[in-house]
Amino acid sequence: MLDLGLPDQNGQDWLKAVRVSSDVPIIVVSARNDTEEVVKALENGANDYVKKPFDMPELIARVRRQLIAVIKKDLEIANIYIALIIS
């Protein structure tokens, strides 16, 4: 999870920098509620965007959704393919 209001760095710039080398799921959690900011974060590589204030069950569901998406990916380790199936 990333809050765009980082004290020492622009959150949007951080998001772009991470996307250069990683595909780790990133959920932006921010009080910046305007559509332009949401679209910019998604275009910069965020997997999801949650506006503050939010309900905890909603945030948990969104995190769970991202984790399931990662787990469902097939793994390849030393030429061994592992297909993960989540029910």
pTM: 0.78
Q: Which CATH architecture has domain 11-82?
A: 3-Layer(aba) Sandwich (3.40)
pLDDT band, very low/low/confident/very high, at 84 (cuts 50, 70, 90): low
- By the 10 Å C-beta count (0-12 exposed, 13-18 middle, 19+ buried), 38 is classed as middle
Per residue in 61-78, pLDDT tens? 999 999 888 876 655 556
Q: Where are the domains of the chain?
A: 11-82
Q: What is the DSSP secondary-structure string of 4-54?
A: S--SSS-HHHHHHHHHHH-----EEEES---HHHHHHHHHTT-SEEEESS-
Question: Does the pLDDT value for residue 20 go beyond 70?
Answer: yes
Per residue in 24-59, pLDDT tens? 999 999 998 899 999 999 999 999 999 999 999 999
Give CA separation, 71 vs 1, 11, 50, 53, 87, in Å. Answer: 18, 26, 22, 28, 11
- By the 10 Å C-beta count (0-12 exposed, 13-18 middle, 19+ buried), 24 is classed as exposed
